[in-house]
Amino acid sequence: MKIPPATGGPQYGLLQRCAYSGVVFVAAPLMILTGLTMSPAVTSAVPFLLRLFGGYQSARTIHFFTSVVVVLFVVAHVVMVARSGFRRQIRAMTVGE
Amino acid sequence: MKKERLITRRGAIVAGVAAVGGFAVARRFPKILPPTCGNVLRAGDSFTYGAQRALLGQSLVREYAPSDVTSFPATGTTDPGVKMKSELGEAYRRMQAGAFAEWRLSVEGSVARPRAFSLAELKQFSPRTQITRHTCEEGWTAIAQWTGVPLSAVLDAVGILPAARFVVYSAYDDWIDSIDLLDALHPQTILAYGMNGRELPVPHGAPVRLRLGRHLGYKNTKYLSRIVVTERRDLYRKSRGTWYGGI
């Protein structure tokens, strides 16, 4: 499978870079780790998770606030897709062209 | 320029073989994997169960200090004698009036010596006391001290047969659930008759309830009446919820 090189769109701005790296490198790992911390079975094997997040209930709080951030991020991007030509963008993402 | 295809023939063949393989695996192990109860999304339970069994092994949950004990809400059935209009409720009321002297825990199924234990007989086993966290699926947690006999000691006394795979337990509030042997033989899986240094109160499952360290609260069945060791999980649980939540 050949993947064509990126076509060099406009450079990302500072806010975009912060948002994307924040979601990929902060929010997503945080959600996965706090989610695992909510499992008694997982924390019995990896008790470090409970120490890392200060217990079950604080892990749960972090998990839900992070999920709100990710939902807002997704909603904002779906709105942007809709505003920049919904049919054309969806076609480009699914069947191509 | 040659047009790139999104779905190649090779990709379609690989995906097809993988799907048939996955289906065959699920058909091959219907008695091992958690039941889906007709709900396709419940297939995720199989993934959780398989992943946790493959990766986690047999580890103990954290035990807390006496100063960590919290208030503990009683949810679900808080008195089978009031809630159950059937014979079960009547039997429970009768036993409760006699301070559970007539209560028996029947242990049967794939065991060498099936037997019914009275509360006094269970208390003759060397007890285990543990301060552990109860994690409700609703999201709240509570910490209490539990005293009881390890289920593994009771299963040793009746002698589980080599083919046994699951332990099904039922209760006076007409609840049935089950666990696999890895959970049943876990050192922190106890038949608890004491809570916070006193007899187990009725709202919390008197005379005996199951305490599982690594499961959510709903698997910690109260008001136990019967334990059946099985080879097949036909009677896995009464309601249609998750058999192995894993969280």
Question: Chain A to chain B, count of Cβ pairs less than 8 Å apart?
Answer: 47
Q: Where are the domains of chain B?
A: 61-230
pLDDT grade, residue B110 (50/70/90)?
Answer: very high
B70 contacts chain A (CB < 8 A): no
CB contact under 8 A, B6 and A95: yes
Q: Between A27 and B233, where is the model more confident?
A: A27
Residue A56 clears pLDDT 80, i.e. is over it: yes
Angle subtended at Cα B197 by Cα B195 and Cα B199, rounded to the nearest 5 degrees: 55
Would the CB atoms of B135 and A56 count as touching at under 8 Å? yes
Q: Which CATH architecture has domain B61-230?
A: Alpha-Beta Complex (3.90)
Residue reference for tokens 């806010």: A15
B14 touches chain A (CB under 8 A): no
**Does B1 score more than 70 pLDDT?**
no
Tell me: the pLDDT tens digits for B87-99? Answer: 999 999 999 999 9
- Identify all chain B residues contacting A35, using CB atoms and an 8 Å cutoff: 247
Local confidence band at B18 (pLDDT 50, 70, 90 cut-offs): confident
Q: What share of chain A is helix, strand, coil (3-state, %, to 5)?
A: 75, 0, 25
- For the four alpha carbons of B216, B130, A55 and B77, in that order, the dihedral sign comes to positive
Sequence spans of domains, chain A: 14-93
In whole numbers, what is the pLDDT of chain B averaged over residues?
88
**Considering chain A, what is the average pLDDT of its residues?**
90
- Is the bond leading into B201 cis (omega within 30 degrees of zero)? no
Q: How confident is the model at residue B6 (pLDDT cuts 50, 70, 90)?
A: low
Q: What DSSP string runs through B32-93?
A: TSPP-TT-GGGHHHHHHHHHHHHHT-S-PPP---GGG-------S-S-HHHH--SHHHHHHH
Q: How confident is the model over B111-168, as pLDDT tens digits?
A: 999 999 999 999 999 999 999 999 998 999 999 999 999 999 999 999 999 999 999 9
Tokens, residue B181: 């042997």
Q: CB–CB of B187/B150 below 8 Å?
A: yes
Handedness of CA A80, A85, A90, A96 (dihedral sign): negative
8 Å CB contact between B178 and B235: yes
Chain-chain contact of B247 with A39 (C-beta, under 8 angstroms):
yes
This complex has an ipTM of 0.80
Q: Which residues of B157-177 are buried (b: 16+ CB within 10 A; e: fewer)?
A: bbebeeebbbbbbbbbbbbbb
**Span B100-105, average pLDDT:** 96
